[in-house]
Structure 1
Amino acid sequence: MILPASRLSLLLVLALLLTACGFQPRGARTDLGHLPQPLQLVGVDPYSDLGRKLRRQLREAGVRLDERADGAGSVLRIADARSERRLLSLDARNRAAEYELSEMLRYSLRSGGQTTPQQTLRVTRILLQPGNELLARQREERRLREAMRRELLRQLIRQLAAR
């Protein structure tokens, strides 16, 4: 089927607008090759879950990591990384029904002799906890926290790419 010229030009204009707005499909690779290389990562335990995932995402974004401060072209300093849980509501039996979960990351970047002011990233989700299924609730919270950490790291990579 051949599209009329007006439809074809409309599709072309929409495709150009979509790419111009910065839209990227989830999981699309972000290139951080513009950062002075290598990058030193400071303030996060390299063996923690957050440390391993952050290192992997940085490598996937084209960043060469270095452990030594003297050879680093830029330094990403994680000042604080924290998980929080806050009670939102109770059920009829005075048991927790909803929690607000949040993952927070505070960082700064030193690159080319300039240090950016500390930035704070936060991802917040609501966790419903109906019933007595303790194992299912714990599993659901664990899955939700993993998804929140992935989103937090995606935000960090996007912000680093925008510099």
Structure 2
Amino acid sequence: MIKRNLLVMGLAVLLSACGFQLRGTGTTELAIKELDLSARNAYGETVTQMRQVLEGSGVKVYSGAPYKLVLTDEQENQRILSYAGAGRTGEYQVTTVLNYDIRGRGDLPLMSDKLEVQKIFIHDGNNLVGSDQEAATARVETRRELIQRMVLRLQQLTPAQLDQLQQTAEAKAKADAAALEAAQKAEANTPRQSPVELQQQ
């Protein structure tokens, strides 16, 4: 048990270290060669590791790139799945949801989506240290899988697709601006009655 706990702890430390690479993402090139990256938690583990994986996949990540990946929100929840052994041992499930946007030139929104990953770990009331390590490992693995799925989604996008989304977003923004301007002009040209005129009617 001690050896296993040490192994789990060592694995958690190694995976959470800055230099890890995901299986299959270190050598897989993305069609997108330039990308800006930001997150609500600018120095969080997810955005930090995401940047490293993107750069390892041949993507130049810098502020001012034509397209931007924004990790808008990351939420983690934990719940009990089952109990055993007089309530001292049980299965727990940790769920992490990552919401993200891809934005284009002019900060126009091109697409929004979310990723969700779940992991199950065992909590042993007789071994709190080991249980804490199990939970930590589950969270590390969850983040790793989130990043892997994010990269897989980015691999499905091409610059041509992003350019098309950009054109559609620009056309929509232009139409919305024209509609707003027309509504403002119509309101400005509508005669307004004074309170006195309304009372006389």
User: What is the TM-score of this pair, normalised by structure 2?
Assistant: 0.59
Tell me the secondary structure at the aligned position of residue 48 of structure 2: helix
- Residue 31 (str. 1) matches residue 9 (str. 2): no
Tell me the secondary structure at the aligned position of residue 80 of structure 2: strand
Of residues 66, 70, 75, the one that matches 1:73 is 66
- Map residues 94-113 of structure 1 onto 2, 5 A cutoff: 94-95=87-88, 97-111=90-104
Tell me the secondary structure at the aligned position of residue 28 of structure 2: coil
Greater shift, 137-146 or 91-100, is seen at 91-100
2:113 is aligned to 119
Aligned 8 A contact 2:88 2:124 in 1: no
Q: Between Structure 1 and Structure 2, how many residues are aligned?
A: 134
The code of the aligned residue for 2:28 comes to T
Gaps of 5+ in 1: 1-24
Of residues 113, 124, 131, the one that matches 1:137 is 131
Summarize deviations over 1:22-67 as a string: whole Å, max 9, x none. xxx93342222x3262x22122433221121111011111111223
Cα distance in structure 2, aligned partners of 1:79 and 1:96: 36
Cα distance in structure 2, aligned partners of 1:53 and 1:152: 11
Aligned 8 A contact 1:44 1:51 in 2: no
Gaps of 5+ in 2: 1-21, 158-201
Provide the identity percentage.
Answer: 28
Tell me the secondary structure at the aligned position of residue 57 of structure 1: helix
Tell me the secondary structure at the aligned position of residue 59 of structure 2: coil
Tell me the secondary structure at the aligned position of residue 114 of structure 2: strand
User: What is the TM-score of this pair, normalised by structure 1?
Assistant: 0.71
Computing the radius of gyration from Cα coordinates, the structure with the larger value is 2
Cα RMSD (Å) of the superposition?
A: 2.3
1:153 is aligned to 147
The code of the aligned residue for 2:58 comes to G
1:56 is aligned to 52
